[in-house]
Amino acid sequence: MGFDKEFLWGAASAAHQVEGAYDEDGKGLGIWDSLAEGHVKHGENGNIACDHYHRYKEDVSIMKELGLKSYRFSVSWPRVMPEPGVINEKGLLFYINLVDELVNAGITPMCTLFHWNLPMWAHEWGGWENEKTIGYFEEYTKVVVDALSDKVSYWITLNEPQCFVGCGYWNGAHAPFQTLPIERIKTITRVVMLTHGKAAKIIRENAKTAPKIGFAPTCDAWVPTDMSEEAITKAQNLSLRDEANPFTMIYWADPIVLGQIPESLKDTLSEEDIQIIHQPLDFYAYNVYSSSNYGGEPLVQNPEVTPGLARTTMDWVIQPAVMYWASKFLYERYQLPILITENGMANNDFVMLDGKVHDPQRTDYLVRYLMELKRVMEDGVPVIGYQYWSIMDNFEWAEGYDKRFGLVYVDYNTQKRTLKDTAYVYADIIRANGEHL
């Protein structure tokens, strides 16, 4: 047992990271447009990014060349809803055209409704602390579903609430760059979860084609230090630990997927809330890069953390086994088919003298992680797809443009696209349906 014929080999992106055109065709400003100054390395911003807004046809043709079976993109809320209750038809048309282009290329579109760039008008009245945001997100969701669901069946409500809540409002690393006390973080948590539940319900009730719905938390699980039952149980318990902070796994997934309130949120969520939050989901999506053993957390130090471990340019330890163990732990707990919505490597890429971009470290990373994905599938865990992060180099939030994750190299001065060696390797893997991994 390995990858079936319907396996959704793909790649991913996020609107603010690739689109550019930050103030064109009626788009409103988001928190990453308005608040990022002074918080991004080298003073960079996403105003132009990869100019995907104007170059999407070229980018889809590259996806087709690679043989991608799917593409996960996100819709920009401030592009579609630049003011409260105002729908920007030109902004919406971009996504209609993008989906048409994908479908015509034989690529399954996967739509993420929220990937971090909250509209400024929502932020100014309290954003995720204000329950009014829930209603406006419902309206936004309905508009996008009405526009795209004739051709989109895969829907992801929210991307990485751990990050846009934890990094945005708790440690201040991401927009809106706030450091709030845990009591306010819990208020935000409740609003975000209710927003997910309402959006999932809107999708289910209004989609024109049978929808498949999930959300995309991040999940850098703990990896056992050896194959003993004791080590495996310890890693599973650490991966699924219950803490009153937004970075842990069950903090988000237990209420949303299981309809269960973790101990850490029993002072925040009510049973009435759970009736809204806990909507039927069709898959468990998650984004995975490294292992929590190597994340620098003070709780437990893995004795295997030694000087000179292989790391990406994000300083994340390369640990392919996390793909196996995260998938196994998540499936055992949540009993939903797995969809890898992000996995990839930031590398020090540049165009070399021969005009090509050679990235052997990324190629090795991709193959090693996919081998672990194949292994967990052979052990009986159902996995429906894999989305490499990212289709192209892009604006990596507060890191600016130095951290290059892409299968495609982007020269940000000329916007020239160059396929990296790993892109061709991935295309070969897709053609063989992973048979030789």
Residue 30: DSSP 8-state: B
Which of the residues are catalytic?
160, 342
277 neighbors 194 (Cβ within 8 angstroms): yes
Could you tell me which residues come within 8 angstroms of residue 132 by beta carbon, excluding any fewer than 6 positions away?
125, 126
Total number of residues shown for the chain? 437
What's CA 17's distance to the chain center, in Å? 12
pLDDT exceeds 90 at position 167: yes
The pLDDT-based confidence of 307 (bands split at 50, 70, 90) is confident
DSSP string across 53-72? HHHHHHHHHHHHHHT-SEEE
- 284-287 β-sheet, strand order: 212-216, 154-159, 108-114, 70-74, 8-12, 383-389, 338-343, 284-287
Strands 154-159 and 108-114: parallel
Q: What is the pLDDT of residues 248-282, one digit of tens each?
A: 999 999 999 999 999 999 999 999 999 999 999 99
pLDDT exceeds 60 at position 192: yes
Gyration radius of the chain's alpha carbons: 20
Buried b (16+ CB within 10 A) or exposed e, 230-253: eebeebbebbbbeebebbbbbbbb
What is the rounded distance in angstroms from the CA atom of residue 174 to the CA atom of residue 39? 8
Q: What is the pLDDT of residues 48-101, one digit of tens each?
A: 999 999 999 999 999 999 999 999 999 999 999 999 999 999 999 999 999 999
Could you tell me which residues come within 8 angstroms of residue 353 by beta carbon, excluding any fewer than 6 positions away?
none
**Amino acid letter, residue 121:** W
What confidence score (pLDDT) does residue 218 get?
A: 94
pLDDT exceeds 70 at position 301: no
Q: Cis (ω within 30 of 0) for the bond into 390?
A: yes
Count how many Cα atoms sit within 13 Å of the Cα of residue 157 in the half-sphere of its side chain.
31
What confidence score (pLDDT) does residue 394 get?
A: 98
Q: What average pLDDT does the structure give for the chain?
A: 96
Work out the percent of the chain whose per-residue pLDDT is above 70: 97
Q: Supply 364's token pair.
A: 């090795």
pLDDT exceeds 70 at position 14: yes
Residue 252: DSSP 8-state: H
Work out the percent of the chain whose per-residue pLDDT is above 90: 93
The pLDDT-based confidence of 295 (bands split at 50, 70, 90) is low
pTM of the shown model? 0.97
Return the beta strands (E) in 184-299 as ranges: 212-216, 284-287
Could you tell me which residues come within 8 angstroms of residue 169 by beta carbon, excluding any fewer than 6 positions away?
128, 176, 178, 179, 180, 184, 185, 188
What's CA 180's distance to the chain center, in Å? 24
pLDDT exceeds 60 at position 346: yes
Strands 408-410 and 417-419: antiparallel
Which whole number is the average pLDDT over 394-423?
98
Q: Supply 259's token pair.
A: 């309809």
Closest CA to 295 of 221, 347, 390: 221
Closest CA to 345 of 363, 327, 358: 363
For residue 114, the surrounding DSSP H or E stretch is: strand 108-114
Could you tell me which residues come within 8 angstroms of residue 89 by beta carbon, excluding any fewer than 6 positions away?
none
Lowest mean pLDDT among 127-131, 188-192, 242-246: 242-246
pLDDT exceeds 70 at position 37: yes
For residue 155, the surrounding DSSP H or E stretch is: strand 154-159
